[in-house]
Each structure stands twice: as structure tokens, then as C-alpha cells.
Homo-oligomer: A and B are copies of this chain.
Amino acid sequence: MAASEPTDAPRRPRGRPRKPLGDANERSATRERLIRIGLEVLSETGWDATGLARVLKEAKVPKGSFYHYFSSKDDFGLAVVAAYEAYFAERLARSFGNTALSLPEQLATFIDAGRRGLIKHAFPRGCIVGNLGQELGGVNPVFRTALAGVFERWEAALADALAQAQACEALADDVDPQAAARFFWMGWEGAVLRAKLAASVQPVDEFEAGYFRYLNLPAPEVSPGELPPSARSN
């Protein structure tokens, strides 16, 4: 559990009642601000490297009032994970949840959004759920359960799309939608990791081609004109 000890979290004041720090609206707005900044910081660095001090400073929140907004550093981290999932839900709705698209189009839409995200942020950012899973999955049971739950819901979204494609005979019967959805997310996390290391979207392109091969579907054309050439080389 060492990795979840709030080593850099401010000390909770003892034996004193909490001072009121503004009304409920203000508290809620500050909490949201801390979560938003936490999302940025956590997508670049690890959990233990995330100086809460840096988050509080950027949010202009005095160090002593952290526990007014969150009960612990873990509580803050879980709120950031929930916010990431909420942001990600829109992206899933636009791809796997969009029944106006064919399955290949759904997959290409999801993958392309990831490709653009990596380029936009010049690659240092990755998937918060993947990052935290690697760092804390083995050592922090609270995060392990939360992160496994996020992956299960992401898998369910894709499994539904795969099952629907199967119902329309747009996907072979011998594909197990659940297994195929899990296979997708394993590879996707690996592709994002490799794209970060290579500072290139090529691993994402290769994952896309591989996953289409796995499903036995023709791979979609990548539209190279829409990506800067620098993103296609090392």
C-alpha cells in the first residue's frame, strides 16, 4: 500500500473544526478545478510524481484546505479517474455508440480520435487509466478495482457494437464479442504506450491494421493528408 500513502499530501489538521471556505457552489467549483488540473497533471506524470502541491498551486487553492475538498489523496485520484471516464464516455458515444456508422467506421473513428489526441499533445500524454493501472494496479486495491471497472465498461461499449455488427452479418459469427472487445483494449493500451515511446502515431496505425486483420475485416484507408508528416516518422 506504500504507493498510495499521501506522502506529499498536506496534513489533515487535527482537533480543530474545519473553517468554512465559502458556500457550497464555491466548494463545488474549486473541487472541479482541482480535478481538471489533476487530469492534466496525471496524464503527464505518474501518481506518485503528481505533486499535489503543484495541483493546489495551479488551482490557487491553499495547501491547508485540501481536505475541505477531498478526504484523502486516493479520494482525489478516484475523482480524477471518474472525470476521465466521463470525458471518455463522449468519445465512446461518438464511435462505438454511433449506430449510423458501420463497424469499421466506428473503430476507425475511435482510433483516429486517439491518434489526433496524441499528436495534439505532442505525445507526452497517454491514457490515465493505463498509466495508473501500470503504476498502482498491483499495489493499490482501491485503484485496482476502480480501474478494472472502467475497462469493463469500455469493453462493454465495444462488445455491444461488435454484437450489433454480427446481428447485421457485418462480422463473422465465430468472433466472440466480449473476447474481441477485451483483445481490442489490451492492444489499444499497448499501442498508446508505444506511440508515446516512439513519439509517432505509427504504433497506432499498426494496431489498427492488426485489429482489422484479427476481425477479418478490410482495413480502412488512413487519410494521411489530415496528419502532419512529422507524426508519421520517428
Q: Chain A: residues with CB nearer than 8 A to chain B?
A: 2-3, 44-49, 123-126, 130-131, 133-139, 144, 147-148, 151, 179-180, 182-183, 185-191, 193-194, 196-199, 203, 206-207, 209-210, 213-214
What is the distance, in angstroms, from A80's C-beta to the closest C-beta of chain B?
16
Question: Could you say which residues of chain B place their CB within 8 Å of the CB of A2?
Answer: 45, 49
Q: Tell me whether A49 and B135 are in contact in the complex, defined as CB-CB below 8 angstroms, given that A151-B197, A214-B210 are known contacts.
A: yes
Verify B179–A130 contact, CB threshold 8 A.
no
Q: Contact between B135 and A135 (Cβ–Cβ < 8 Å)?
A: yes
B-chain residues with CB within 8 Å of residue A179 when the two chains form the complex: 206, 209-210
Q: Report the Cα distance A188→B126, complex, angstroms.
A: 18
| A131-B134, A134-B131 as given contacts; A151 in contact with B183, CB under 8 Å | no
- The contact sample of 17 A-B pairs, CB cut-off 8 A, is A45-B139, A46-B136, A47-B49, A48-B49, A126-B134, A133-B194, A134-B134, A134-B135, A134-B193, A137-B197, A180-B210, A182-B203, A183-B187, A185-B190, A185-B194, A186-B193, A186-B206
